[in-house]
């Protein structure tokens, strides 16, 4: 696509959305950065990026942002659906309202915003929709079932939409990052996990320790060694948007490429027992909770 076509990006208050807005703007693309709290966009505005308020759970907010871009440019050249968060907790204990909020943000908002930009994209016979998924759109681990279910839904919607819109010149792309070192994401993920049953209390403690080490880099771990930066994802997003024939999926980072390949090849029992149970915390009965931490959580050498 050319630099004159506008790129509308959601979730730009931090993380992948912000990094993508900065990278595309600095490479000469016309960027509209959006966020639910517009005050968080001031640093981007100071850098010369156009900003708009956009809450993916609010119909009027989404409509206003899309109308503003289309009024100025005719159509959105590329939509990057980056807004999202992770609900943590075991499947048994998650509240129904929490489940709904997770899907309202990660799935329904993404789908509704895509619906809004598509008529003008079809009329222009051009456009790209980039959906930020995750390695957890391809498999799931304990403690994040609802977040991971939302990413599985994004994968399915993207696959259907890619086929539905291809003949109209609209490209649909999935980005599947491994763990991204984003303090805000990790803090929210850990804070959301509030076990009710004592049976899950120790699992919560180990999960918090595990993800804190990965997302904040608070200590050296094997998984943390392969953690990527938000700009690594932004670089792939830009490549997909600029490509005339982008791939359907872009795994980002060594962990994404390796674990997705393993999931594709390994039977469930092998994947569960030789990867998930060794690499991630799993709930254990109270009489078995002295088991060693996952190998990815053990410190590698001195971390002082």
Contacts of residues 52-57 at CB distance under 8 Å and 24 or more positions apart, as own/partner, are 54/10, 54/83, 56/10, 56/11, 56/83, 56/104, 56/105, 56/109, 56/110, 56/112, 56/113, 57/101, 57/104, 57/105, 57/108, 57/109
List active site positions: 13, 133, 147, 151
Q: Following DSSP, what letter does each residue of 178-243 receive, concatenated?
A: --B--HHHHHHHHHH---SSGGGHHHHHHHHHHHHHHHH--S-BHHHHTPBPHHHHHHHHHHHHH-
Give the C-alpha separation, 83 to 106, whole Å.
7
| Main-chain dihedrals φ then ψ at residue 79, nearest 5 degrees | -110, 125
Element (H, E) at 63: helix 59-73
In this structure, how many other beta carbons lie within 10 angstroms of the beta carbon of residue 135? Answer: 23
């Amino acid at each position: 696509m050319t630099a004159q076509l506008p790129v509308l990006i959601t979730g730009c208050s931090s993380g992948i959305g912000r990094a993508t807005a900065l990278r595309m703007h600095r490479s000469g693309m016309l960027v509209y950065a959006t966020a639910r709290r517009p005050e968080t966009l001031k640093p981007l505005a100071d850098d010369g990026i156009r900003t708009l308020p956009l809450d993916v759970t609010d119909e009027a907010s989404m409509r206003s942002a899309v109308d503003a871009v289309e009024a100025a440019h005719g159509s959105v050249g590329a939509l990057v659906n980056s807004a999202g968060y992770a609900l943590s907790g075991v499947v048994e204990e998650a509240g129904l309202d929490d489940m709904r909020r997770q899907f309202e943000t990660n799935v329904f908002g993404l789908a509704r915003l895509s619906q809004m930009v598509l008529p003008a994209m079809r009329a222009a016979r051009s456009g790209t929709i980039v959906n930020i998924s995750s390695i957890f759109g391809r498999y799931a681990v304990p403690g994040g079932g609802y977040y991971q279910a939302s990413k599985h839904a994004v994968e399915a919607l993207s696959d259907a939409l890619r086929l539905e819109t291809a003949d109209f010149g609209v490209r649909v792309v999935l980005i599947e990052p491994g763990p991204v070192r984003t303090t805000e994401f990790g803090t929210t993920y850990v804070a959301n996990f509030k076990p009710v049953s004592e049976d899950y209390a120790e699992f919560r403690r180990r999960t918090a320790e595990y993800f804190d080490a990965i997302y904040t880099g608070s200590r050296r771990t094997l998984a943390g060694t392969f953690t990527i930066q938000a700009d690594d994802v932004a670089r792939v997003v830009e490549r997909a948007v600029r490509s005339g024939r982008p791939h359907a999926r872009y795994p980002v980072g060594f962990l994404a490429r390796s674990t997705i390949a393993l999931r594709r090849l390994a039977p469930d029992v092998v994947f569960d027992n030789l990867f998930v149970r060794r690499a991630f915390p799993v709930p254990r009965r109270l009489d078995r909770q002295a088991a060693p931490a996952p190998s990815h959580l053990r410190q590698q050498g001195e971390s002082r």
